[in-house]
Chain A
Amino acid sequence: MDSAPSEHGRPPLALKILVAGGFGVGKTTLVAACSEILPLQTEEVLTDESVGTDDLVGVEAKASTTVVMDFGRVSLSDDLVLYLFGTPGQDRFWFLWDELALGALGAVVLADTRRLADCFPSVDYFERRGTPFLVAVNCFNGEQRHTPDRVRDALDLDPEVPIVLCDARDRESAKMVFVALVEHVMALGRRRRDNALLA
């Protein structure tokens, strides 16, 4: 009943990466491109008890709705597994993000240049929370309407936040998005250590 290793040996170390972005931008597709399982849809239930926001005032007691989060798994080795969580696309479920973001390695903000503004809230959220993130521009059908520099300007991103182009349907492309994120996390960690040494 305690946290002792199990008799079957310790389960793999689990790391968590979030995939955020606007509604319909391809979050499920990106998770599916890398996951070894069909993305499972974990649902969180919203009841009048679960939130303290004004949004639910007037809703009768026990009424509930579900919020769907896509969930994929990538086993990297016997003792390392990566979990990919697609965040709920609806803005009003922000409070669920806090649990998702807790202990997350980092986040991919998926952007569609036709609707760049849709990813503002995600960028804002991860900036405020201090979660390492990058912006991946999903180029549907190889279509690229803006250069990374214009995307950076439009989103007012810090120079250190990487912007990568990707095709969320393509496994190789999706893999490289996550590789770029982990490299970014590593670079941030090094910079923090260097700054600590200088201070």
Chain B
Amino acid sequence: MWDDRDAGRAGTPRPENEPAHQTEHDWLDDAAGPVVRPYAMTGGRARPVTGGLSLLTYVEALYAPEADLIHLQPEHRSILMMTRKAQSVAEIAGRLDLPVGVVRVLVGDLLQASLVSTFDSDAELNPPDENILQAVIDGLRSL
């Protein structure tokens, strides 16, 4: 079941001595994934209205009357549904199958509309102390 998807996605192995610049678009090989236009969902915006959203930034929906939500896109609504309990940006992207960059833009919209709050995990700011590291070791061993 756990075939290596890295290998699976590649399809055929890359030839060893492939010339570096065969075509103008040679960076678009099979391993690069599908060519998409995901920013259609964000109205072409590649950057969020607010910065500072990392992969592990937590997002949590704030209470809002239904009337405030009618102008939202389905993806915005999906994020609000998912984040009734706080979720990280990476987890939202993974579960909704959206690129992280797109999730950042959508979460930025929700922040601007005061429909979510965000907060960073302390660990990204401060290296964890020895007690926390020991808790990680103990937790892993007892899995």
Do chains A and B interact in one complex?
yes
Q: B-contacting residues of A (Cβ < 8 Å)?
A: 1-6, 8, 11, 13-16, 23-29, 32-34, 40-47, 49-50, 55-56, 58-59, 62-68, 70-71, 73-74, 76-77, 80, 82-83, 85, 89-90, 92, 99-100, 102-103, 105, 169, 171, 175, 178-179, 182-183, 185-186, 189-190
The majority secondary structure among interface residues of chain A is mixed
Of the candidates B5, B46, B91, B118, which one forms a contact with A73 in the assembled complex, judged by CB atoms under 8 Å apart?
A: B91
Does B143 lie within 8 Å of A13, measured CB to CB?
no
Among B27, B86, B124, contact of A56 (Cβ-Cβ < 8 Å)? B27
Are the C-beta atoms of B46 and A50 separated by less than 8 Å? yes
Which residue of chain B has the shortest Cβ distance to A14 in the bound complex? B121
A74 to B91 Cα, complex, angstroms: 12
A8 touches B95 (CB 8 A): no
On chain B, which size bracket covers the interface? 35 or more
- Measured CB to CB, the residues of B under 8 A from A are 2-7, 9-10, 24-25, 27-28, 31-39, 44, 46-47, 54-56, 58, 60, 85-86, 88, 90-91, 93-95, 97-102, 111, 114, 117-125, 127-128, 130, 132-137, 139-141, 143
Q: A42-B100, A66-B34 are in contact. List 5 more A-B contacts (CB 8 A).
A: A42-B55, A45-B39, A58-B24, A59-B25, A89-B31
A24 to B10, CA, bound (A): 9
